[in-house]
């Protein structure tokens, strides 16, 4: 056994105190990634998180002793999350500042809750772990973070902060799991991370996995070292490097206590350790060993006894092995495993505590209140304030999806298999809680039947394959080889199915389904029968097919099942052409439906690289793209290739990619040949030149592994391994972009076809070389008639319900025309010009918005500071709608007529109020007019009251003061537009009645103007006073009526909350 740096020796029964060894400096910070160029002008394009709102794995969580409502948890692949309301709501913190995505440890300084340390990289070494880049520090409660070193440690299991000095911090670094490196062990900083000293180190294959500070004496620490190693096909947990250590001097020096009396005598694996807050001499350790279990000591580690060998608390030791002593009760101890276990008799017996999700990894207990805790598991993190009797939920989008698939539904669904959960399909537009499973399990592919859209095939580890009927909710198993392989090594099973084995339908041969073990299989009978159509397409090296998990505990779940077909890509252009790539680095293609296969592995692809995905070009026969990686060989380079001759030759296409951002998935754009998208460990990239050069397309997407990409119509869909599903909507501008466009004063992109929906939007994207003072967007019909005009102006002073003609009172604010340099996007809601409104307008179940246009061709004319460009627009009918074009035209015609009448009604109100305001002004000039003015004002108000309920001043007032004609008509427009179809007979009849009443009211307005107002003007003329004007006031005249700008803004703000709908 190699000597440890700074390790103390045991002498008899007393602790020896030799001088500490020289410190070892920590690795310097990683170089920052250069910012992307070119596409930066499109930075206003935004990824939209779709969900689902269902948590993914978390292996670290912590609370604040000083702030009882404040907690943090780290998501694997999903960054750091924080709550300030006790776990009711969570927000991601650090996005845009962290360079990696998987949090291994988080610590809050006990003496200053604003000081937070975050360590990246996973130590629960399952097959899909994500490595990190060291430690970050915040001094403002997580608002901002600074990288403070240890970048090469790759995986951090614990961070502990001194109880009274937030600058003293210890880190347990496990190190690179795939190679022997010196960057591992226990590190200490006394200056808040500015510098680090390695204070405990065994060897290059052993790292630190757990670390605890004695709550009764901060100079006393315990740490565990773990000898562990991973390859693509195996895990080795345990060895002579593993051990348990103690420090008396704040971590400067350490003594190994692994072989003290009562502890296991054989080979050791992973060890978890905890010290009781009630008694610093009571220490618990859970140890992976042949005779392992839970051990305790009452003399600070001199003598131990095994208090439990229960396998429920020590199964799958590499993935769990964590113990937590209660801060107040000496004999209360928790052990986390598949279940959450609590003992109140010092570990002799345990009872389970029910938690929201299984596979439990971390626990923090408030030192002053043991009933308050936060616990991390494979579903996220959850808070309890009653000792685990109840917990908060896990409704946040940190799911780890292994891929992404879309359906043919409208709107399309996004589907994937979530780690340690179920499959999930969620609408691309809709609430994040609206999702459902479609069979399969946590790790597989999903394929929607091209002949029956209600039928889904989904897989999982062990070769599981199900067929699910969405309509009947019936699931049927159609496994290719239903011989359950659990517990067996790859060399001992007939068919080797990878954890995420491929399942794909042919895009051109209807009903032909492919799947892969080490062979390619085909079914033309909906999975009822399968035909093997290939030989073994892998290296099947016996050295890679052995057992995994040892030398102490085997762990053979299928993650390490190796020498398998990892990706299958049927051609989109030619029948019988199928590509296959293996996880041990081979590529094959058949051009005769599987009768013969040719090894076409790229010569430049290193041996045993994982061929993660092959993309058969949707445009060109013989062209395919390949994304491969070797990160499980400690090689993080991206391996990306293209062939144009069925694999006879390959070209490496990695120009511009970061050297350490390995590739997982590649897709070619379905519309633009040679436009490629590449999903990597840290995000997504795009190439316009067939892979010659790449640029980042991460935009606002957090750093997260991208495992799946789908080009779905005008949308780009991704599945991430830590942040659920995201959509980059309406990518027409992205497809059309070229760098030379940035030199033009104005460029308008041609949008893709939009689907007509009540809540739909058609994006109009335009580039400006410089800020524009005046920008106008006009919507025209196919013949050039202007249907709507919008400008980059402040909201109109007569803006009413919703603050303008677009605002519905709920949801996000209406789209506004912008004129900033760079990319601008305006979302046209497919409505024509709205009716006019006015300050203080209150409507119940109605609004002034114009009607939605019918499907067809339109135009957008954009003018910016005198530069003009017009582009075509196209709106398609919703494919779900049964309405005919004649139905939609009739619907539009009535809605437009009603909206015109609402406009006439509102203009009448404005006209009457304008007259009243002028009458008031004339009375101020000559008091003798008051009697005549009062009579006229009463008549004006009376007629206004027939058109609009002016007594309504707040959103619920219409319950007391009945609505009048303008509101009734606006509400009727909503009824007419509720769903596609011609107006009902009842709507037509009600419209006739309301329209007739409005006509009569407007006639009375004209009669009043021609009679009493004219007479009043004659009186004014006799007094040599200016007449009252009777035209509909302009916007400027409305502003001069005496309503202040503040009043107008307040009225508009009030209206944004006042509209009500059925």
pLDDT tens, residue by residue, 877-901? 999 999 999 999 999 999 999 999 9
User: Given pLDDT bands bounded at 50, 70 and 90, which one contains residue 41?
Assistant: confident
- Tell me the Cα Rg of the chain: 35
Q: Which residue has the higher pLDDT, 808 or 446?
A: 446
Q: Residue 231: its pLDDT value, please?
A: 97
DSSP result, 754-772: EE--TT--EEEEEEESS--
CA distance 248 to 223: 12
Is the confidence at residue 1060, as pLDDT, over 90? no
Q: How far is CA 54 from CA 80, 394, 397, 440, 1056, in A?
A: 16, 6, 6, 18, 32
pLDDT in tens, 406-449: 999 999 999 999 999 999 999 999 888 999 999 999 999 999 99
Q: Which residue has the higher pLDDT, 45 or 1055?
A: 45
Q: Residue 173: its pLDDT value, please?
A: 99
Q: Residue 432: its pLDDT value, please?
A: 87
Mean per-residue pLDDT, 1032-1059:
52
pLDDT in tens, 258-274: 999 999 999 999 999 99
Q: Which residue has the higher pLDDT, 1042 or 1?
A: 1042
pTM beyond 0.75: yes
Say if residues 989 and 975 touch (Cβ distance below 8 Å): no
pLDDT in tens, 987-1019: 999 999 999 999 999 999 999 999 999 999 999
151: phi then psi, degrees, rounded to nearest 5: -60, -30
Say if residues 852 and 831 touch (Cβ distance below 8 Å): yes
H or E segment and range at residue 415:
strand 413-417
Q: Residue 4: its pLDDT value, please?
A: 36
Mean per-residue pLDDT, 663-684:
98
Q: Residue 532: its pLDDT value, please?
A: 99
Q: Residue 718: its pLDDT value, please?
A: 99
Q: Could you give the strand order of the β-sheet that contains 856-864, starting from the edge strand earlier in sequence?
A: 754-755, 867-876, 856-864, 775-781, 786-791
Is the confidence at residue 155, as pLDDT, over 60? yes
Q: Residue 18: its pLDDT value, please?
A: 31
SS3 assignment, position 326: coil
H or E segment and range at residue 504:
strand 503-505
Tell me the three-class secondary structure of 181-237, residue by residue: CCCCEEEEECCCCCCCEEEECCCCCEEEEEEEECCCCCCCEEEEEEEEEEECCEEEE
Poorest-pLDDT segment among 20-34, 325-339, 971-985: 20-34
pLDDT in tens, 509-560: 999 999 999 999 999 999 999 999 999 999 999 999 999 999 999 999 999 9
Mean per-residue pLDDT, 659-664:
98
Is the confidence at residue 1049, as pLDDT, over 60? no
Mean per-residue pLDDT, 812-817:
76
Poorest-pLDDT segment among 148-162, 636-650, 796-810: 796-810
Q: Which residue has the higher pLDDT, 6 or 203?
A: 203
Mean per-residue pLDDT, 244-261:
98
Q: Which residue has the higher pLDDT, 24 or 53?
A: 53
User: Given pLDDT bands bounded at 50, 70 and 90, which one contains residue 348?
Assistant: very high
> Residue 519, by phi and psi: left (phi above 0), alpha (psi -120 to 50) or beta?
beta
Q: Which residue has the higher pLDDT, 728 or 1053?
A: 728
Q: Which residue has the higher pLDDT, 812 or 766?
A: 766
Mean per-residue pLDDT, 92-111:
98
Torsion sign across C-alpha atoms 742, 743, 747, 753: negative
pLDDT in tens, 737-772: 998 999 999 999 999 999 999 888 999 999 999 999
Is the confidence at residue 1042, as pLDDT, over 80? no
Poorest-pLDDT segment among 59-63, 351-355, 706-710, 924-928: 924-928
Mean per-residue pLDDT, 132-137:
99
SS3 assignment, position 716: strand
Which long-range contacts link 646-651 to residues 24+ away (Cβ below 8 Å)? 646/577, 646/589, 646/591, 646/600, 646/622, 647/579, 647/587, 647/589, 647/598, 647/600, 648/600, 650/600, 650/602, 650/603, 650/604, 650/605, 650/626, 651/691
């Amino acid at each position: 056994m190699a000597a440890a740096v700074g390790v103390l020796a045991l002498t008899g029964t007393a602790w020896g105190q030799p001088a500490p060894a020289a410190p070892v400096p920590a690795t310097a910070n990683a170089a920052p990634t250069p910012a992307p160029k070119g596409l930066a002008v499109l930075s206003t394009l935004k990824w939209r998180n779709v969900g689902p709102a269902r948590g993914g794995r978390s292996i670290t969580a912590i609370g604040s002793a000083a702030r009882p409502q404040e907690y943090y948890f780290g998501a694997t692949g999903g960054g750091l999350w924080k709550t300030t309301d006790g776990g009711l709501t969570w927000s991601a913190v650090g996005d845009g500042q962290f360079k990696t995505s998987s949090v291994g440890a988080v610590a809050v300084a006990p003496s200053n809750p604003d000081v937070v340390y975050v360590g990246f990289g996973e130590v629960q070494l399952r097959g899909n772990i994500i490595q990190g880049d060291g430690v970050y520090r915040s001094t403002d409660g997580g608002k901002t973070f600074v990288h403070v070193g240890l970048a090469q440690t790759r995986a951090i299991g614990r961070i502990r902060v001194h109880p009274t000095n937030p600058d003293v911090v210890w880190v347990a670094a496990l190190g690179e799991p795939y190679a022997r490196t010196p960057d591992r062990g226990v590190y200490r900083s006394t200056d808040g991370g500015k510098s680090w000293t390695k204070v405990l180190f065994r060897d290059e294959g052993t790292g630190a996995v757990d670390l605890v500070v004695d709550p009764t004496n901060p100079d006393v620490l315990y740490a565990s070292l773990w000898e562990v190693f991973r390859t693509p096909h195996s895990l080795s947990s345990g060895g002579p490097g593993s051990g348990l250590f103690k420090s008396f001097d704040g971590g400067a020096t350490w003594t190994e206590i692994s072989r003290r009396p009562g502890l296991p005598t054989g080979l050791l694996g992973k060890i978890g350790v905890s010290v009781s807050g009630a008694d610093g001499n009571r220490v618990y350790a859970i140890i992976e060993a042949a005779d392992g279990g839970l051990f305790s000591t009452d003399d600070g580690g001199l003598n131990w006894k095994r208090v439990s060998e229960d396998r429920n608390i020590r199964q799958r030791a590499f993935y769990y092995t964590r113990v937590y002593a209660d801060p107040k009760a000496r004999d209360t101890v928790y052990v986390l495993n598949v279940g959450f276990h609590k003992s109140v008799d010092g570990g002799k017996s345990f009872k389970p505590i029910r938690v929201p999700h299984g596979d439990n990894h971390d626990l923090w207990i408030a030192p002053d209140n043991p009933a308050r805790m936060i616990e991390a598991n494979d579903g996220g993190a959850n808070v309890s304030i009653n000792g685990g009797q109840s917990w908060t939920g896990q409704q946040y989008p940190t799911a780890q999806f292994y891929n992404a698939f879309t359906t043919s539904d409208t709107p399309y669904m996004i589907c994937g298999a979530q780690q340690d959960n179920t499959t999930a399909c969620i609408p691309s537009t809709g609430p994040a809680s609206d999702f459902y499973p479609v069979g399969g399990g946590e790790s597989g592919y999903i394929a929607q039947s091209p002949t029956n859209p209600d039928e889904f095939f989904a897989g999982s580890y062990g070769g599981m394959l199900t067929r699910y009927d969405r309509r009947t909710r019936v699931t049927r198993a159609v496994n290719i080889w239903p011989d359950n392989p659990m517990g067996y090594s790859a060399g001992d099973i007939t068919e080797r199915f990878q954890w995420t084995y491929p399942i794909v339908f042919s895009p051109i041969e209807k009903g032909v389904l492919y799947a892969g073990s080490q062979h390619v299989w085909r079914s033309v009978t909906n999975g009822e029968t399968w035909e093997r159509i290939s030989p073994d397409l892998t290296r099947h090296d016996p050295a890679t097919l052995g057992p995994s998990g040892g030398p102490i505990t085997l762990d053979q779940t299928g993650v390490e099942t190796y020498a398998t077909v990892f990706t299958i890509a049927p051609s989109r252009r030619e029948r019988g052409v199928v590509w296959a790539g293996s996880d041990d680095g081979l590529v094959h293609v058949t051009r005769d439906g599987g009768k013969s296969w040719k090894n076409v592995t790229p010569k430049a692809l290193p041996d045993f690289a994982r061929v993660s995905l092959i993309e058969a070009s949707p445009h060109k026969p013989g062209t395919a793209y390949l994304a491969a990686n070797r990160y499980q060989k400690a090689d993080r380079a991206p391996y990306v290739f293209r062939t144009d001759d069925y694999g006879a030759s390959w070209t490496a296409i990695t120009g511009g990619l970061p050297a350490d951002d390995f590739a997982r998935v590649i897709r070619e754009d379905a519309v633009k040949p040679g436009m490629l998208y590449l999903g990597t460990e840290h995000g997504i990239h795009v190439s316009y030149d067939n892979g010659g050069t790449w640029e980042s397309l991460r935009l606002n997407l957090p750093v997260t592994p991208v495992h799946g990409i789908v080009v779905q119509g005008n949308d780009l869909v991704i599945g991430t391994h830590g942040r659920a599903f995201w959509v980059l909507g309406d990518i027409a501008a992205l497809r059309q972009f070229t760098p030379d466009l940035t030199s033009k004063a104005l460029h308008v992109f041609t949008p893709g076809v939009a689907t007509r929906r009540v809540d739909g939007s058609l994006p109009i994207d335009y580039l400006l070389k410089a800020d524009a003072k005046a920008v106008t967007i006009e919507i025209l019909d196919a013949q050039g008639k202007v249907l709507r005009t919008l400008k980059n102006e402040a909201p109109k002073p007569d803006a009413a319900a919703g603050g303008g003609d677009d605002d519905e009172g709920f949801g996000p604010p209406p789209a506004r025309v912008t004129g900033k340099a760079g990319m601008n996007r305006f979302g046209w809601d497919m409505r024509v010009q709205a009716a006019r409104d006015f300050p203080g307008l209150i409507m119940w179940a109605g609004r002034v918005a114009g009607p939605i246009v019918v499907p067809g061709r339109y135009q957008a004319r954009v003018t910016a500071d005198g530069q003009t460009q017009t582009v075509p627009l196209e709106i398609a009918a919703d494919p779900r709608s049964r309405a005919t074009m004649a139905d939609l035209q009739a619907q539009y015609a009535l809605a437009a007529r009603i909206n015109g009448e609402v406009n006439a009604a509102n203009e009448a109100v404005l006209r009457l109020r304008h007259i009243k305001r002028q009458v008031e002004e004339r009375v101020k000039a000559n008091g003798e007019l008051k009697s005549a003015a009062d009579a006229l004002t009463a008549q004006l108000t009376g007629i206004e009251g027939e058109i609009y309920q002016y007594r309504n001043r707040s959103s619920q007032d219409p319950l007391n003061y009945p609505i009048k004609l303008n509101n009734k008509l606006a509400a009727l427009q909503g009824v007419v537009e509720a769903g596609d179809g011609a107006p009902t007979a009842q709507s037509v009849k009600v419209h006739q009645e309301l329209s007739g009443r409005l006509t009569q009211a407007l006639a009375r307005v004209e009669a009043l103007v021609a009679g009493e107002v004219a007479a009043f003007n004659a009186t004014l003329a006799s007094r040599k006073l200016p007449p009252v004007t009777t035209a509909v006031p302009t916007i400027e005249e409305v502003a001069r009526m005496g309503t202040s700008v503040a009043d107008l803004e307040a009225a508009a703000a009030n209206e944004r909350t006042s509209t009500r709908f059925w």
